[in-house]
Structure 1
Amino acid sequence: MFKRISPRAGSGVAVTLAAALMLTACGGSGGGDAGGTPDPNEEVTLNFTWWGNEDRAERYEKAIALFEEENPNIDVNGTFMDFPAYWEKRQTEAAGGGLPDVMQFDYSYLRQYGQNGLLLDLTGFEGDGLTTDSIDETLLATGKLEDQTLAVPTGYNAWSLFENPAVLEQAGVEGYEGGTTWDDYDAYMASVTEASGGEVYGGTDYTMRIQNFELQLRQEGRDLFTEEGEINFTQEELAEFWSSAEDIRENAVIPARQLEEVAPKSGFGANLTATEMTWSNFMGGYLGDTGAEDLNIVAPPTSDPSVQDLYQKPSMLHAVSAGTEHPEAAVAFIEFLINSPEVGEIFGATLGVPASETALEGAALEGPELEVKEYLDSVADRIGEPPAAPVVGYGALENTFLTLGTSIGLGAITPEEAAQQFFDEAAVTLGS
């Protein structure tokens, strides 16, 4: 009988991931030579967990019910919680060796858990229990670490630029065409701010986001980090990046102090800016924050339109614990969640545009979801190979980058001082 899925509160136990990994690092990811489908006569119970809200829970509830109907010998116990509590709970479980059988997984944690043997190697199941040929190879690669497939993407998105037609109408200007030079985009933002008399702004200081620094590096043929997990830029280059926004901070973008006043909404979400760069799957959240009937999504600036600077980022992935007692059943559940057209219909693009072609066929995207898919299709020529899996501690460095960028905007620190602080913290985080 189906079990009602309910959220669980975070454990409140402050267990560091380092401690968890020390307890598990001696083990390797199993499953490399495995494969096959579950025994239909074996009674199995799987524990499955994800982060999200009640809407996502209701969708998973429907998907689990369909899976259990097709696999009457497998029961799936589902739990969910908010994102911070979710990863706190996983850290606690990792320390005790009790991760759930199947987990919704985030790209930024793949290296942390994968390189220490906490995730099942799914390589042996590919083509024998797990169908992956319906997923783009470059996207599928985001779930790989070295020669192991440790997670499978459920959906994908890419870096993008949103614009709000209602705010543009208020300012009396046309929308940004997308894909121009950075200087052209700076000038465009300034024109919006000037045309509105400062009532709304052309955009937000994009140098506060590490993803925009990454974008500029990729336009030069580099990633933020090397394959070995080392910083792939200099302190001087970072200071130069932050300094490059000096002019737009004065005449084009929303002041950092005003951003703090509307937090946790962004300037764009608060209808104070006409444009903002972020991941394409923010469409739904932006529509909710702004209350707008529609938003436009176009390509971000580039220094060279011929360079493949964008990449397909998994909005999330599914992974299996290396300690599961039922690997075949766990993989069968992932196969269902990834490839089932019925699951595609249930979720639409709420987990990102479906990664699998078969799930996408069932999704029948329309409205804002279709617009996101059309945007991703429009930038296909700019999609390149994804970077290596994020370094351990990437989330902390991303937050540091944002904090320092904000401090620069507030005038509390210089770009040179901020770059020094970033490298000092990175040395501790990366252990270099």
Structure 2
Amino acid sequence: MFNIRKRRAGIAAVALAAGAALALTGCGGSGGSSEEAAPTFDPNEKVTLDLAFWGNDIRADLYTQAVAAFNEEYPNITVNTSFLGFPEYWEKRQTEAAGGGLPDVMQFDYSYLRQYSENGLLLDLDPYLGNIIDTEPLSEQILGIGVVDGTTTGIPTSTNAWALFTNESLLSSVGVEPFEGGSWEDYVDWQAEVSAAGGGTVYGGTDYTGRIQNFEIQQRAKGNDLFTDEGEPNFTEKDLVAFWEQGVPQREDGAVIGQQKLEEIYPKSAFDAGLTTSELTWDNFGAGYLGNLGEGTELTLTAPPVTEEGAKDLYLKPSMLHSISAKTEHPEAAATLVNFLVNSPEAGAIFGTNRGLPASTTMLEGAELDPLGQQIRDYEESIADRLGDAPPVPIVGYGTLEEKFRQLGQELGFGTITPEEAATQFFNEMDVVLNQ
């Protein structure tokens, strides 16, 4: 069972997938200036488009159904589909990018959007917004996610947000009430209560300072994204030291599970392994958790601890986007296909939550949400007052920094380095990434 519990108003009122920098060859091509006449598509023109996506046989079947539905409306557009697993998908795109032969329409990942956009590989979609691509069903927050350096190069298909999962079944076994919201200090106190009641077999959670996303939302509560629009760091070593120092009492007081135990159960997380009662992560991880914990497990989904009341610290992240090659010979037809895949109720009915919670209201209306998808929808609606604008599209090399942050969190967990030493190492790594 996956159940969302109604929390008090203060609380209940979107794998980044890591990606190394790619050596891409810039390509020409543009959708044209937004000051030009709005592009239109000739419904009688016979064209062929290539559509590429990552996934498995199940997703491939869904895309086949979606293309068939698309062709009922646009029989003149032939769509050839291809798919690969996630790593292989990006290896092929890298090869195609170097040779100038990207598919017309591509399922796109947020962590690669800046790399391909800055190399001129993706079509400027701004001229197509509001005419071929309907923007009414997409909020400004959603549309802003696909903007790189002032140009729209991707349209999100779906969203997720940072959240707090609780294993209510495990929590009830130690006789502690669920976390009812509050500050990060309140959350640590609750974790400590659970760990004490768990007697060394059940813990309240893991040290939250090991995740860069928790640092990010604390910084956003102060009004700062991690990086500026220009890709410069928007935080200091002092900020990072202060954050990592929050983990010291968590570990010393036994409020969280120890790092050695985490190493022993890897690659499972402590939450996956049924050792901790809470986990801060993206809200679309629920299906994976239930797969490991068992369908009978009762999970709840609530907002993360509060850094500052009223802050717009949370945001919606795309599970994936759709982009168009800058070299497509049929930009209007490609934009028509993107609009169908992103906005149509027919696509919503076909995909459901396979690509995440639909970002478009019209696609969401067509989707039949499973219980898990419905709870995620309820959660994202519940945090509306905490949602701010999405941060700038991740810098090239963000995945490398996210992994470095995780590794330093492990060393802090073992006590082999201090917060000051960890901050120095992180800034050294960041200097390399930003200047490569």
TM-score (norm 1): 0.91
Where does residue 341 of structure 2 map in the other structure?
A: 337
Where does residue 246 of structure 2 map in the other structure?
A: 244
Further displaced range: 339-348 or 250-259: 250-259
- SS at the partner of 1:19? coil
Determine if contact 2:164/2:302 at 8 Å carries over to the other structure: yes
- Check if 1:122 corresponds to 2:150: no
Where does residue 56 of structure 1 map in the other structure?
A: 59
| One-letter amino acid of the counterpart of residue 240, structure 1 | A
Q: Cα–Cα, structure 1 residues 304 and 420, in superposed 2: closer, same or farther, change >3 Å?
A: same
Where does residue 196 of structure 1 map in the other structure?
A: 198
The superposition leaves residues 276-314 of structure 1 with CA deviations (integer Å, 9 ceiling, x where unpaired) of: 011111122222122143310001001222111111111
User: Of 164, 168, 177, which residue of structure 1 is paired with 2:167?
Assistant: 164
Query: What is the distance in 2 between the residues matched to 1:403 and 1:82?
Result: 26
TM-score (norm 2): 0.90
Query: What is the distance in 2 between the residues matched to 1:356 and 1:405?
Result: 37
Q: Cα–Cα, structure 1 residues 264 and 62, in superposed 2: closer, same or farther, change >3 Å?
A: farther
Query: What is the distance in 2 between the residues matched to 1:96 and 1:261?
Result: 44
- Check if 1:382 corresponds to 2:386: yes
Q: Quote how far apart the aligned CAs of 1:243 are.
A: 2.0
The superposition leaves residues 310-330 of structure 1 with CA deviations (integer Å, 9 ceiling, x where unpaired) of: 111111111001011111111
* Structure 1 unpaired stretches of 5+: 1-15
Alignment of 1:6-405 (within 5 A): 17-20=21-24, 23-24=25-26, 27=28, 29-32=30-33, 33=36, 35-178=38-181, 180-250=182-252, 251-293=254-296, 294-405=298-409
Q: Quote how far apart the aligned CAs of 1:121 are.
A: 0.5
- SS at the partner of 2:127? helix
Query: What is the distance in 1 between the residues matched to 2:427 and 2:91?
Result: 26
Determine if contact 2:22/2:115 at 8 Å carries over to the other structure: no
Query: What is the distance in 2 between the residues matched to 1:186 and 1:273?
Result: 13
Query: What is the distance in 2 between the residues matched to 1:17 and 1:91?
Result: 11
Determine if contact 1:256/1:410 at 8 Å carries over to the other structure: yes
The superposition leaves residues 171-225 of structure 1 with CA deviations (integer Å, 9 ceiling, x where unpaired) of: 22121123x1000000111111111112111111111111000011011111101
Further displaced range: 42-51 or 299-308: 42-51
Q: How many residues are treated as equivalent by the alignment?
A: 413
> Greater relative contact order (Cα 8 A, min sep 6): structure 1 or 2?
2
Q: Quote how far apart the aligned CAs of 1:30 are.
A: 3.3
Determine if contact 1:29/1:114 at 8 Å carries over to the other structure: no
Q: Quote how far apart the aligned CAs of 1:108 are.
A: 1.9
Q: Quote how far apart the aligned CAs of 1:227 are.
A: 1.6
Determine if contact 2:313/2:386 at 8 Å carries over to the other structure: yes
Further displaced range: 37-46 or 47-56: 37-46
- Show structure 1 runs of 4+ deviating over 4 A: none
The superposition leaves residues 242-271 of structure 1 with CA deviations (integer Å, 9 ceiling, x where unpaired) of: 121112123122222222222222211111
For the aligned residue pairs, the C-alpha RMSD in angstroms reads 1.8
- SS at the partner of 1:24? coil
Determine if contact 1:166/1:292 at 8 Å carries over to the other structure: no
| One-letter amino acid of the counterpart of residue 115, structure 2 | Q
- SS at the partner of 2:23? helix
Q: Quote how far apart the aligned CAs of 1:34 are.
A: 7.1
Query: What is the distance in 1 between the residues matched to 2:111 and 2:228?
Result: 15
Q: Quote how far apart the aligned CAs of 1:142 are.
A: 0.6
Determine if contact 1:28/1:116 at 8 Å carries over to the other structure: no
Query: What is the distance in 2 between the residues matched to 1:52 and 1:200?
Result: 35
- SS at the partner of 1:103? strand
Determine if contact 2:54/2:89 at 8 Å carries over to the other structure: yes
Q: Quote how far apart the aligned CAs of 1:18 are.
A: 4.8
Q: Quote how far apart the aligned CAs of 1:169 are.
A: 1.7
| One-letter amino acid of the counterpart of residue 216, structure 1 | Q
| One-letter amino acid of the counterpart of residue 177, structure 1 | E
- SS at the partner of 1:420? helix
Query: What is the distance in 1 between the residues matched to 2:118 and 2:218?
Result: 29
Q: Quote how far apart the aligned CAs of 1:28 are.
A: 5.5
Query: What is the distance in 1 between the residues matched to 2:293 and 2:50?
Result: 37
| One-letter amino acid of the counterpart of residue 309, structure 1 | D
- Check if 1:424 corresponds to 2:428: yes
Q: Cα–Cα, structure 1 residues 58 and 217, in superposed 2: closer, same or farther, change >3 Å?
A: same
Q: Quote how far apart the aligned CAs of 1:82 are.
A: 2.3
Q: Quote how far apart the aligned CAs of 1:376 are.
A: 0.8
Q: Quote how far apart the aligned CAs of 1:56 are.
A: 2.1
